[in-house]
Structure 1
C-alpha cells in the first residue's frame, strides 16, 4: 500500500489507542481524586462502557449503507472532543456521567470504521495490518507513561487536559485520511447476517470473548488505583502498564509467525486461558515487582494476540458488506456488554480496595470459563492474502 496511506492510518491508531492509554489506567484515579466511591466509579465505568452495546451497531448500519466510513470517523472524533471537554466543568455524579457517556457514545463510532477502512486499504493483509496496528500500541505506551508522571506531578485534574490534547490530535489526523475504494458486492454478500450471527461457531467465539472482556473489568477500572494503594508511584504504574503494551507490540511485529504456526482456535483459546492465570497473579502477587511485570507480559496474549485473531475470525466469518455490522456486533456485545458487566461487578466487589483479591479472583474465574468455551471452536484454515508491502 502507498506509504502516505500507511502513515495516515497509523496516525489514527496512534491517537486512538493513545487515548485508551490515558483512560484505561487513569480514569478511575481521576474519579477517585474527585471523591467518588468505588461503587460509583464502577457504575460510571459500567454506564460509559454500556454505550458500546447499541452505538456501534447504529454507526455500522449507517456506514454499511452509505459507504462513508471516513465521514463517520471525522464527525465522531469532533463530537468526542466536545463531550470530553465538558468534564473540566462537571464535578457532580450525574453531569459527569452524562459527559463521559456522550463521549463514549461518539468515540465508539471511530474504531470499527478505522478497522474496516484499514482492512479495505491493505486488502486484508494480516502482515500490513499488524504493522499499522503496532502504532496504536506505541501511542498507548507513550501516553500511559507520560500521563502517570504528569498526574502525579500536577494532580489528577491533568487527566482532563491530556485527554483534550489527544482527542484534538485524533480529530486533526482524521482530516488527512482518504476513503478507500470498496470492491463491488457479489450475490453471496446478500446472505442474511442473522445466519452468520447465530452460527454455532460464532456464538462460541462471541461468548468466549464476552467472558474475557468481563474479566478485564477489574483491570480497566481499578488496576492503577490498586497499584497506587500498594505504594507504587505514578511513574511506576505507567511503567507496568507500558510493559504489557510493549509485549503486545512484540506480538503485532511477529503476528505472521503465530498465524502460520497455529489455528485461530488455538490462538484464541490459549490467549484467554493464560489471561485467567494473569488475573490470579495480579490478585495474589501484585506486591512483587517481578510477578507483576510477568503478569503484564501476558497482556501480549490477553489483548494483542487475541485481538489480531478475533479480527481475522470476523474477517473470515462475515461477507464484504457485513464487515461493519460484524465488527459492531462484536464490539457492542463483547466489549459493551462484557465490559459493562465486568466494570459493575468490580465496583461491587472492590469495597474501597478491601476486596481486591476477591475481585481479581472473579476475573480469573471468568476468563477461565471463556477459555474453556473457546476450546470448542471449530478449526478453520487461515486465509492468507498476498502482502502488498
Structure 2
C-alpha cells in the first residue's frame, strides 16, 4: 500500500488532523490567557472542551454502525468543526466561548475514531503500515506547533483563530479525498454486546491505567506553553520544545510495530507510563534548564507515541472488527474524555497562575505511578491474536 493513492490520502488526513491538534492542544491555554482568563477559568474551559469526548465518540460510533458511512461522518465532522471554529472570530466572554469550544469539540470527535478504523481496515490491520501512516500525523503536529509557537505567544489571540480556520479547511478538503474501504459491517445489523469484553479484568486494568495517564497530562496540555513563557523562554523555543516531543514520536512510530511484536502491549504500556512519571517530575523541577528540558521532552516518544500505538493495537486484538467503532468510542470517551477533562479541571485548581506549577507536575507524576502499577497487573495478551505483518 506504500505510496499508493490510498496511502497518500490517509497520510494527508492524519497530517491535517494532527496539525489542528498541534495548534489547539498546546496553545488553547495561550489563546484563553490572551482573552484575559485566569488559570481557574482556563482549566474549566479546557475541561469543557475536552468533556465532549465523553459523549461525542459514542454518538458518532452509533451513527457509523447504523449507516456504515464512516467517510461521510468524517466529512460531516470536519465541515461542522470548521464552521463552529469560525465563530471564535466574533464571540467574547466565558459562556459564549465555552459554548463554541464545546460544540466544536463535539463535531471534532467524529473524525479520529472513524479515521482509525478506516485506516486499519485499509492496511489489513498491519501494525507496520499503520505506524507509517500515523507518523504523518506527527509531522503535521510538528509543523503546526512550531509555526504557532512563533506566531501566538507574543501575538493577538485572533492569530490562533486564523491558524485554526486555515488548518480545519485543509482537514475538510482532505476528508473529501478519502475513499472508504469495504468494511464487513451491515447497516442496521443486529449487534452483539461488547459488555462481556468491557468487564474483563485485563481491559479494566488497561482502561483505568489509561484514564489516570490522561489525567496526568492536565498540567502539560493546559499550561505548558504558558509555563515556558513564564520561565522566560522565547516564543520560537516554546514551539520548538513542544515540537521536539513530536519529533521523538516519529522514531517510535517507525519501529513501533516491531516493538509491539517483540514485547506485547503489557510491557510497552507499563514502560511508557513509568517514563511519563519521570517526565512530569523532571518538568516540574528542572524545566528552567534548557538542556534537561530537551531530554525530558524526548520522553514524549514514550508517553504519547509508544502508548498510543500499543493501546490502539491492544484494542484491535481485544475487539472484533464489528466491535471496533463502539470500542474506540468507549475508550476515547472514558480515557480521553473523562481523563482529559478531569486533568484540565484539576490542573486549573492547582496551577494558581503559575505559583502551583511544581505541585501540579508532582501530582501528575504520582498519578502516572499509580497508572503504571495497574498496567503491570495486566496479563500478557495471547500471541495467537497478534496482527499479521
TM-score range, shorter chain: over 0.9
SS in 1 for 2:288: coil
Give 1:257 shift. Answer: 2.5
Q: Distance between the aligned counterparts of 2:304 and 2:79, measured in 1?
A: 27
Do 1:9 and 1:177's aligned partners in 2 also have CA atoms closer than 8 Å?
yes
Shift of 1:62: 1.1
Deviation at 1:163, TM superposition (A): 0.1
| TM-superposition CA deviations, 1:319-348 (whole Å, max 9, x none) | 111100000000000000000000000000
Q: Kindly report which structure 2 residues correspond to 1:127-146, keeping only aligned pairs within 5 A, or say none.
A: 127-146=128-147
> Which segment drifts farther, 255-264 or 67-76?
255-264
TM-score when scaled to structure 1?
A: 0.96
Secondary structure of the residue aligned to 2:224 is helix
Within 5 Å, give how 1:275-314 maps onto structure 2.
275-314=276-315
Q: Secondary structure of the equivalent of 1:254?
A: helix
Q: How many Å separate the matches in 2 of 1:27 and 1:268?
A: 28
User: How far off its partner does 1:381 sit?
Assistant: 3.5
> Shift of the alpha carbon at 1:304?
0.3
- For 1:41 and 1:247, the matched residues in 2 are separated by 28
User: Is 1:267–2:279 an aligned residue pair?
Assistant: no
TM-score, normalising length from structure 2?
Answer: 0.96
Q: State the distance in 2 between where 1:190 and 1:151 align.
A: 47
Query: Structure 1 CA distance, aligned partners of 2:154 and 2:223?
Result: 20
SS at match of 1:165: helix
Partner in structure 1 of residue 341 of structure 2 = 340
Query: Match for residue 214 of structure 1?
Result: 215
- Trace 1:1-389 onto structure 2 (pairs within 5 A): 1=1, 3-152=4-153, 154-183=155-184, 191-382=192-383, 383-387=385-389
Preserved contact between residue 184 and residue 322 of structure 2 (Cα < 8 Å): no
Render the CA deviation track for 1:252-275: whole Å, top value 9, x for unaligned: 011123113212100001111110
Alpha-carbon separation, structure 1, partners of 2:314 and 2:262:
16
Preserved CA contact (<8 Å) 1:64 1:322: no
1:125/1:384 contact within 8 Å kept? no
- SS of residue in 1 equivalent to 2:206: helix
Q: Deviations over 1:23-48 (max 9, x none)?
A: 11111011001100100000000111
Work out whether residues 74 and 175 of structure 1, in 8 Å CA contact, stay in contact via their aligned partners in 2: yes
SS at match of 2:55: helix
CA–CA distance in 2 between the matches of 1:68 and 1:358? 46
SS at 2:377 equivalent: coil
